[in-house]
Structure 1
Amino acid sequence: MAPNATVLGDVILEDNVSIWFGAVLRADNDNITIGRGSNIQDNAVIHVDPGKPVRIGEEVIVGHAAIVHGATVGNNTLIGMRATLLNGSKIGNWCIVGAHALVTENMEIPDYSIVMGSPAKVVKTLSEDQKEKVKLNAEVYIELAKKYLDL
């Protein structure tokens, strides 16, 4: 965890999770769970409302300055820079939510979807090549976090 990241309240961080500079995880009204190998990048905000916990799956990338608010994110998914997920939204496994996308309240995104826009819409299905890039990105951040621990 970066020295200026903030983690408050009922937060569970599984193995190999990295929380980067300026990120805020605030579980003051419900709980947050971040799955194994996931990374919460610089200035991202993870927050909850009562009855709206956050569940982030395994090997998920939450990009710089993204907001995840009372949402659920499946495994091996990339949440793009400055994307926003609102209360009750559910993102499937192996998805990409594009930069600046707005996933509205209670919206459900099926597995293998690429989502873009404001409000967000499914625009295509994730290719095998894109799946490999998402997986590689998660692995790169696991290794990068290990390097920071050695500094």
Structure 2
Amino acid sequence: MEFEGKVPQIHETAFIAPGARIIGDVTIGPKASVWYNCVLRGDIHKIEVGARSNVQDGSVFHVEGPRPDTDGEPTIIGEDCVIGHMAVVHGCQLSDRAFVGMGAVAMDGSRIAAGGMLGAGALLSPNKHIGEGEIWIGRPAKYYRTLDEAQIAKIRFQTERYCKLAQKHLAQIHG
């Protein structure tokens, strides 16, 4: 949906599930997927979803708009990221291969470095930063440990699986 002259830019290879709402200044990259009942509302700042990243069912993305003390906070998702079901991502930035678990919340100004993980149900407070390859869990989220090679491989697997699954859903819808 257009909002105040801003029209979502969705790559032709991206999958947007029926029922997802993409509003305003939103860019969806190649082979990215936005699943059923997600809301990405770029009405007061921009949202970007990088190539092959997946935003799973029921997730909500929003932004922090400009205020007298700041230019606001866009929501920027790198490439090959996994956003679990029912996550809330608000005015934060995820580097490539970052992971946000099911039901997790990432708040304004927070950052997740390359390969970092916010565990299921966790709450990443404003302006907190998860380092490269770190896992943070809890409410509020705190450092737990560093990902091992098996977990890194699992994130890659999830990204690849969602790219393939998106193509199957697309074929089913357009059957």
TM-score range, shorter chain: over 0.9
**SS in structure 1 at match of 2:37:** coil
Residue 67 (structure 1) aligned with residue 82 (structure 2): no
- Residue 48 of structure 1: which of 63, 87, 98 is its match? 63
Matched residue count? 151
CA displacement 1:74-113 (0-9 Å, x = unmatched): 1112100010000000011111211110000000111000
Residue 10 (structure 1) aligned with residue 25 (structure 2): yes
Name which one, 1 or 2, has greater alpha-carbon Rg: 2
Report the TM-score, using the length of structure 2 for normalisation.
0.85
> How far off is 1:27 after superposition?
0.4
Extract unaligned runs of 5+ from structure 1: none
Residue 37 (structure 1) aligned with residue 52 (structure 2): yes
Q: Which residue of 2 aligns with 1:84?
A: 105
Cα distance in 1 for partners of 2:150, 2:98 equals: 14
**SS in structure 1 at match of 2:22:** strand
1:74 alignment partner AA: S
**SS in structure 1 at match of 2:157:** helix
Cα distance in 2 for partners of 1:71, 1:140 equals: 25
Report the TM-score, using the length of structure 1 for normalisation.
0.98
How large is the Cα RMSD of the aligned pairs? Answer: 0.6
> How far off is 1:149 after superposition?
1.1
Given that 2:117 and 2:130 are in contact with CA atoms closer than 8 Å, whether structure 1 keeps it comes out as no
Cα distance in 2 for partners of 1:25, 1:57 equals: 15
1:115 alignment partner AA: W
**SS in structure 2 at match of 1:25:** strand
Percent identity, please. 40
Greater RCO structure (CA 8 Å; 6+ sep): 1
Cα distance in 2 for partners of 1:114, 1:108 equals: 11
Cα distance in 2 for partners of 1:102, 1:149 equals: 33
> How far off is 1:57 after superposition?
0.6
